[in-house]
Structure 1
Amino acid sequence: MTSFKQPELIITGLGVTSAIGQGKMEFISALLEGHHVFDVMKRPGRQKGTAFLGAEIPSLFLPEQLSKRLLRTASLSGQVALLTLQEAWNEANLDNVDPRRIGLVVGGSNFQQRELLQTYESYRDQLDFIRPTYSLAFMDSDICGLCTEQFGIGGLAYTIGGASASGQVAIIQAIQEVLSGRVDVCIAMGALMDLSYMELQALQSLGAMGSIRYANDPASACRPFDVGRDGFIYGESCGVIVIEKAETALTRQVNPYAILSGWSLVMDGNRNPDPSYEGEVCVIQEALKQAKMSPSDIDYINPHGTGSGIGDEIELRALYDCQLPHAYLNATKSITGHGLSSAGAVEIITTILQMRESRLHPTRNLEEPIHSSFNWVRNQSVPHVINNAINLSIGFGGINTAICLQRI
């Protein structure tokens, strides 16, 4: 009996927009320098007698190729989605792929909350004047509509929610769409989660989001894995990844970034935000097994690493017990902030760009790690050739994901 051999899956295009940079070049440069823009947030709808900290995109430079008609009525999440997809689309040379063989999976749900709240506040006393396009914009599927119209995508498109793991859930689902043969190329997007003061207040009250302790020192507020952490700090971002089989990419002039060697999604059976040691151990072990790797093969870890009081502890315990403390480890959110629905995609992009640069970005504010036994990248970037990496992304509701990447 012959065993089934899974086709090699590769990443052929990347797009990223974040508070620290628009496009891959700006983004990786800022990461390696440890450059941040944490401050009291100023975007309308983010504060109501409050002073929530975060990292906001300073301005958008929208390319001429994007439809001005679509942009005019698109939300911030929609505009950033179009901009970020444009970068990945061009790099993967997708104009030369049959549009009916291209799919799109958008990771995230309820990600336009700030603009929806603003609409409510603007029109609650003049309901008859509400703009008709609101009937489209309030749905998550509007991001799919904007992207499929702009780029002519004719295969499949849908959104998929996974809380803070949405970006990696979208990647795993895009992988399945390619393996199933429904499409030849599938785009995974971690959409920009546009929070309003309502969500920010609730997350802070829950104890998930900081930072009361560093309210007067925004630069010090985001500190994953540090003894002084007090919760995640929000950061606007969007990430796009193009996935296909190696054999289909050969027909176009594209330079693949990395091999998707293993992945896993495990549920805890828990509605609450509590992380699960057992779930994280299981998802790491399953991803390694599928990648046919042992823990010793992994030389870099990009963790979930939010700055959560409980979450950071449990994640490190899971990594330690999975025999991974030898691998280099840094925390991307210490520089970008936590993009929630976008985080998993942005951090996969971070791993791939570090792989290409053979250099690892620093972890800001890691003054006293909660566990000293790990191979931390602290306040300076370090040279390192990544051969095999694992990315973890965890979400409320008991969602655990892991993806293994291999150098080409």
Structure 2
Amino acid sequence: MKNQNQSELLITGVGITSAIGQGKAAFTPALMQGQHAFRVMQRPGRQKDTSFIGAEIPSLSYPERFSKRVLRTASFSGQVAMVTLQEAWDEANLAAVDPSRIGLVIGGSNLQQRDLIQTYENYKDRAHLVRPTYGISFMDSDLCGLCTEQFGIRGFAYTVGGASASGQVAILQAIQAVQTGQVDICIAMGALMDLTYWECQALRSLGAMGTDRYADEPAMACRPFDKNRDGFIYGESCGAVVIERADFAMSRQIKPYAILSGWAVAMDGNRNPNPSYEGEVQVIRRALKQGNLSPQEIDYINPHGTGSTIGDEIEIKAIQDCQLSHAYINATKSITGHGLSAAGTVEIIATLIQMKESRLHPTRNLEDPINSSFNWVRGQSVPHDIKHALSLSMGFGGINTAICLQNAK
């Protein structure tokens, strides 16, 4: 590990749960091989005379520390949050840290929709029998309660909403908390947004989620940056990263994944779901400037890349006009699906894994790129030693975020 500036901010632990694997040991080879789990979704509450395609987590493995009572009363989003945090917690050796100096920021809002609609349907004719824990669990803050109780976190914990940029917004808030000394360590989590058929239908009607065009070929449906893209495809996922200063990590002899070198957020001043070229250009330039980086120094980009018919075109134009088209680029969502609130954190983790592996994952279904002049990673993984990476996230309501990562090797 190179000598670290003691005030540098590092990522020292990660946790990942997705449809292609729970934990880095399962997620990493699946990512590099371009494995997928796309099919017509089966989870209760996801369909009502519909056939929405998505990628669902096949099963969860629970650490023994979580009691059956806690798991029984937690929503699916809560269960996934706890198991994901466990991996990041252990890797960063947070058990050795004063719990009053640890904070938690959970990215996402309206996270537990499927749990809510199932409660409504199960108790619609007997509301007086609804379980008392519903008075807690219907709020997103219940994820904070679950995690702080199970892990003994005593600093602070709160949720932040940024639509599909929520995962990166959580990281930006965690950075600020460590920078200002609120805590010594802050965990940023992009939580699992548990959709129902209501949200799926509304997102499809907006023109954001894919249609039934690939109903008979679910594996072909998710195709960011391809000319035949048809909208985003949902993918269950959750990611957590541990952020701290270099001196604090060195005191515990923790080897970091990467240095957080630049970051930014920019608003479009627009309530609607349509993306903004100006907003995306602005956030990229701000992040590079804050990190004292030239465009030429960025050698890998992990884009928002949803498969949106409009969004992909605008993002590629923004990247090109920021003089970044030389950098390698792939689309993590082509493999994992779009985790919505989790996406920004999951894609930072995918970037960190590629840094560690010195290898870039493929982009599934990128058969006819919308701009062939880019340095795409297409059907096969390729070796590459990332030095400086740029990760982008955008959310409904005009939210644009960007984070630059420097390899800590």
How would you bin the TM-score normalised by the shorter chain?
over 0.9
Match in the other structure for 1:203 = 203
- The percentage of aligned residue pairs carrying the same residue is 73
Match of 2:239 in 1: 239
- Corresponding position: 1:347 with 2:347: yes
Is 1:31 the counterpart of 2:23 in the alignment? Answer: no
Once the two structures are TM-superposed, the CA of residue 250 in structure 1 deviates from its matched residue by 1.4
Q: 2:308 maps to what in 1?
A: 308
Q: Is the 8 A contact 1:67 1:150 kept in 2?
A: no
Q: Given that residues 11 and 244 in structure 1 are in contact (C-alpha distance below 8 angstroms), is that contact kept between their aligned partners in structure 2? A: yes
Rounded Cα–Cα distance in structure 1 between residues aligned with 2:250 and 2:367: 46
How far apart in 1 are the matches of 2:100 and 2:253? 20
Deviations 1:347-390 (A, max 9, x none): 00000000000000000000000001100000000000000000
Question: What's the counterpart of residue 63 of structure 2?
Answer: 63
Letter in 1 for 2:66: L
Aligned residue identity for 2:268:
D
- Aligned equivalents of 1:6, 1:258: Cα separation in 2: 14
Task: Provide the C-alpha distance between the structure 2 equivalents of 1:49 and 1:297, rounded to a whole number of angstroms.
Answer: 50
Which residue matches 1:384? Answer: 384
Q: For 1:150-201, what per-residue CA distance to the aligned partner results, in whole angstroms no more than 9, with x for missing partners?
A: 0000001000000000000000000000001010000000000000000000
Question: Following superposition of structure 1 onto structure 2, how do residues 99-178 of structure 1 map, counting pairs within 5 Å?
Answer: 99-178=99-178
For residues 261-288 of structure 1, the C-alpha deviation after alignment (integer angstroms, 9 at most, x for no partner) is 0000000000000100000000000000
> Residue 249 in 1 paired to residue 249 in 2?
yes
1:63-99 Cα shifts (integer Å, max 9, x gaps): 1122332212000000000000000000000011100
1-side partners of 2:261 and 2:65: how far apart?
34
- TM-score normalised according to structure 2 size: 0.98
Equivalents in 2 of 1:26, 1:16: separation in Å?
Answer: 10
1:19 corresponds to: 19
The offset of 1:202, in angstroms, is 0.4
Q: Which stretch of the first structure deviates more once superposed, 42-51 or 66-75?
A: 66-75
Aligned partner of residue 251 in structure 2, secondary structure: coil
Q: Which residue of 1 aligns with 2:279?
A: 279
* C-alpha separation in 2, matches of 1:68 and 1:93: 25
Q: What is the aligned partner in structure 1 of residue 324 from structure 2?
A: 324
Which residue of the partner structure matches residue 7 of structure 2? 7
AA matched with 2:341:
S
- Aligned partners of 2:407 and 2:85: how far apart in 1? 23
8 A contact 2:54–2:234 mirrored in 1:
yes
The residue type equivalent to 2:267 in the other structure is: M
User: How far apart, CA to CA, are the structure 1 residues paired with 2:171 and 2:71?
Assistant: 26
SS at match of 2:369: coil
Is this contact kept in 2: 1:306–1:338, CA < 8 A?
yes
Matched, 1:367 2:359: no
Secondary structure of the residue that 1:250 maps to in structure 2?
Answer: helix
| Counterpart amino acid of residue 191 in structure 2 | A
Mean CA deviation greater in 248-257 or 222-231: 248-257
Counterpart code for 1:238? C
Give the counterpart letter for 2:52 in structure 1: F
Question: Aligned partner of 2:109: which letter?
Answer: S
Structure 1 residue 128: Cα displacement: 1.0
The answer on whether the counterparts of 1:93 and 1:253 sit within 8 Å (CA) in structure 2 is no
Matches of 1:173 and 1:406, distance apart in 2:
19
**Which amino acid letter does the alignment assign opposite residue 222 of structure 1?**
C
Which letter maps to 1:138?
Answer: F
Instruction: Give, in whole Å, the separation in 2 of the partners of 1:172 and 1:73.
Output: 31
- For residue 280 of structure 2, give the secondary structure of its aligned residue in structure 1: helix
Paired with 2:102 and 2:227, the residues of 1 have a C-alpha distance of 46
Aligned-residue offset at 1:249 = 0.9
In 2, Cα distance between the equivalents of 1:118 and 1:66? Answer: 24
Work out the CA distance in 2 between the residues paired with 1:265 and 1:71: 36
* Residues 54 and 235 in structure 1, CA contact (< 8 A), matched pair in contact too: yes
By how many angstroms is 1:6 displaced?
A: 9.3
Please tell me whether the aligned partners of residues 6 and 246 of structure 2 are also in contact (alpha carbons under 8 angstroms): no
In structure 2, the residue matched to 1:337 is 337
2:14 touches 2:241 (CA, 8 Å); kept in 1? yes
Instruction: Give the match for residue 98 of structure 1.
Output: 98
Deviations 1:193-250 (A, max 9, x none): 0000000000011110003211111000000000000100000000000000001111
Number of the residue aligned with 1:267? 267
Contact persistence 1:299–1:326 (CA under 8 A)? yes
Give the AA of the match of 2:178.
Answer: V
What CA distance in whole angstroms lies between the structure 1 residues aligned with 2:202 and 2:304? 21
Contact 2:101 2:185 in 1 (8 A): yes
Rounded to whole Å, the distance in 2 between the matches of 1:312 and 1:67 is: 44
Report the 3-state secondary structure (helix = DSSP H, G, I; strand = E; otherwise coil) of the residue aligned with 2:351. helix
How many Å separate the matches in 2 of 1:341 and 1:406? Answer: 24
Q: Paired residue for 1:290? A: 290
Superposed CA offset, 1:84-123 (max 9, x none): 0000000000011100000000000001001100000110
